[in-house]
Structure formats: C-alpha cells, structure tokens
Structure 1
Amino acid sequence: MSRTRRISGTLPSKIEGRHLDRQAVVYVRQSTLQQVAHNKESTAVQYALVERACTLGWARLRVAVIDDDLGCSAASAAGRPGFQRLVAEVGLGHVGLILGFEVSRLARSCRDWYHLLEICALAGTLIGDNDGVYDPGLYNDRLLLGLKGTMSEAELHIMRARFEEGRWNKAERGDFGFPMPRGFIRRPSGEIVQDPDERARDSLHLVFEIFERRRSIHGVVRYFHAHSLQLPDRVRGGPAKGDLVWAP
C-alpha cells in the first residue's frame, strides 16, 4: 500500500501541524552594500517571501524576517549575525520553515550549508526556496539540497575567478583604476595630479611637516585636534561626486 502511494505521488505535503506550530523564518541577504543600494528589486523579491509563507499555511504573526546580513557575503558564517541567529533559533526548535529566495542567499560555503542541514534534520525544520520545500531529514531532499549547496559554492569560485581575470586584463591595458588618496585627483585624461585647491594642498603639506617634527601619527592627530584643523577629501560617489569636503 505504501509503495503504491509513493509511486502515485499522493503522499501528504511535507508541511505538517508541528511545522506550523513553529515560526517560518524568511532570510534576506545581499552580498554588498552597493547591491543593497542599487539592486532593490532583488531585495524586494526576498521580502515578498513573507507572503509565500502565509500561502503555505503560516499565520502572518508567526512569520519572522531576518535581514541582519544585508551587505554581507555568504562565503562564510563569520561576520553574519543574522545567519548565526537563524542557526541558533533552528537548534532551539523554534523554526518550522526557513525560506530563502535561493540556496546562495543562505550560504555559499559547503561547511556552513551542511552544518545548517544537519541542524534542520535534527530539529525537524523544513527549507524552502524558489523551487520548492524540502525536508533535510529525507534522503532524496537532502541529496538535492546538498547538490544545490555545492553548486552555490562553485558559483562563488567562478565569479571570483572571472572578477580577478577582469582586473588583470584591465591592469595589462593600463585601465585599472583605484580611488585617489587625499590630495590627488584624476583628470578626465587619466593623468594623476595634486588637488587644484590650494587650501587642500596646504593642509596636507602640514600633515607631513608636523610628522617631521613629532615623528608619530598620534602626534599629528593631537596637533590637528588641539588646533581644530580639518583635512580635505573628495566625495567618491553620488550626486556630489568630486566635491571637496572637510572633516576632522
């Protein structure tokens, strides 16, 4: 009888009452602050998973969002307080379902990914992504989740290799740019020159003069603080890009 049910595909849903009695957690992550600022559609799609959790049977009040890791890479669990909190909540038996847009949102490290799978299997927690809902305690689901995690880690390696190759190609052409240190600007022609603002040049020359006299960075800082002096810098992005600003 059980064999017939498996073949016909009429097994009940993986989501059971014990899962619905616990929280559904939507995990939201973007790799960099630049993505958070400019790739807002991706972030919005991840937040929309709250509605999917409700569709799957969770009451809205039992759906939590963990978005502490916006601007954090998934290459490691270190430095990701949101992911660490998620793992802790799963281990305490508070989570019935983890929802992420895709595996790469949760982890791009097989070590972190398999650690999460193991805890989910022990706690009876489901994992859902844009393809479906999986039970890490079931062999076939765990096999598929493991494959997704391996592909996610490999994807990170490929992206890094492409990025590094692109940097080397730009460097070989002489087109590799980098932010100018204080006191220098890059002209549209690519030529690097001292800041045209006379006050900016004088203040930076003063830094080196004080250093020659006091022979320590702390001595320079104390001098500038005692005389309420500020240092110049150029805005590096946004509508005011290139403007000269002064700060302690």
Structure 2
Amino acid sequence: MSSKTESPTPPGDLPRQAMPQVNTLSAEDITAALKAGFADFLARPVMSGFFGLLYAVFGILIVWSLFRLGQLWVIIPAIAGFPLVAPFAAAGLYEMSRRRQANISFGWADILGVVANQRKREMGWMAFVTLFVFWVWIYQIRLWLAVILRDASFSDFGGFLNVVFFTPEGWLFLLIGTGVGAILSAVLFSVTVIAMPMLLDRETDFVTAMITSVRTVKENPVVMLTWAAIITGAMILSLVPAFLGLIVTLPVLGHTTWHLYRRAIPPVQG
C-alpha cells in the first residue's frame, strides 16, 4: 500500500475502520524480528546508518547547546529522555524495511521523499504526542529539582553531578525522577511502538493507531515488555560513546520494530 498522500489530513477526518486484529506474539517473534532487522541494516548499511547518524548528531548538538546556554541541570534529563523521540525519527527505516519486505527497489530519493511526506499524514500528529511527553519529562525534572534540591548550589556540571549522586537529597531526586520517567516511558512506548510503523504502512487515523498499539502491549505484555527492555538497554549503551553508538543501534532497532509490527498486526486485505 502506498504511504503517500496529497494533502494534510486533520485528525479524525480519515474514515473510521474496524480495529485491526492483534496477533499473539512469542519470544520467537522477537528473535525473528531482530534477525530481519539486522538483515535490513546489513543490506543497506550506509542508508540505514545515515538515519542513525542524523539522530546522533542531533543529540550531540542538544548537549552542546545546553552547555553553551549554561543549562547544566537539563543535560542529564535531556540525555535520558532523548530516546523517547526515537520512534518518530525511524520513519525512513520503517519505509526501507517495508520496501525490502515487499521486494520493491528504492533509492535515496524514494526514502527521503516518504520521510518528508509524513508531515502531511497522521504521523505528524504522533510527533506532537511524542514531543509533548518529552517536554513533560523535562519539566517534571525541573519541578523535582526545585522541590528537592532547592537549597543546593552548583555552578558547573561536576558540581551538579556531585549534588545528585553524593547527597541524600540527590538520591531522592534520582529516585522520584526515575520513577516518574519510567511511567512516562512506559506510556509512550505503549502508544507508539506499533502506532508509528502502522501509520506509515496504512491509511488510518492516529487515534486508532495508538489504541492498536496499546492493545498489542496489553495482549502481549511479556513479549512487548521484553522488547521495551531490549530497546532501553541498547539505547543506554549507545549513548555512552558520545551518542555514536546510535549510528548502528537506532537503525537496527527501527528495522526490527517494523518486523515486530508486521508479526503483531495482520496486513490489510485487498
């Protein structure tokens, strides 16, 4: 099915469709999806790595800008919350996997054209959802910083790290901030993990896509939570070497997410 459309579609204007069926998943589905994801990456490593590189450079620029602006307290939550926007950044990777799976040839213009076209489709509304959760993440950190560490003073990044990691107030700050962050991450994962590739794959409204995504997580909790844990671990490890691990990790996770979506949601008939 074509993933292009001619004009922007306001939310809710697409015709209502029956909710897609959700398949039962197993650990074997994650294994098979990972193998297919790696195969997609190895088949087009330069193109796949390009999307990972863009994401890594964006992360580096965010951290550099925060240092320049003196917003030291934002650096850790920004780095920790940065992976939250990864699903939206993977649109090009989903399209590459979709075309390879359908044996459709493609070049740079084809993939970049589809990525650019997403601003006219329902995935654009999902971007608002993703970025909204990211900003909630940042501002809840600011709230706990003001409430818990109000008497602390730090004039440099080292001082901030010392307060956060080596004082009782800092430990409480980390505990509460991590707990709230885990909840926000779980919510965002549930509404996007299937919704993002689904919106690229078919013409449906973003509310239906989010509901389908939540249903998939609800009906396959162990498998989907395992996949969430894999994503979290891989992204954390990727951020350590100055975001550069994302050049490989983001493409592989993006391609794999596409194949897991295909296993979770039967294709449109006809």
TM-score, normalization: structure 2? 0.24
Q: Which has the larger radius of gyration?
A: 1
Structure with more of its chain in strand, by fraction:
1
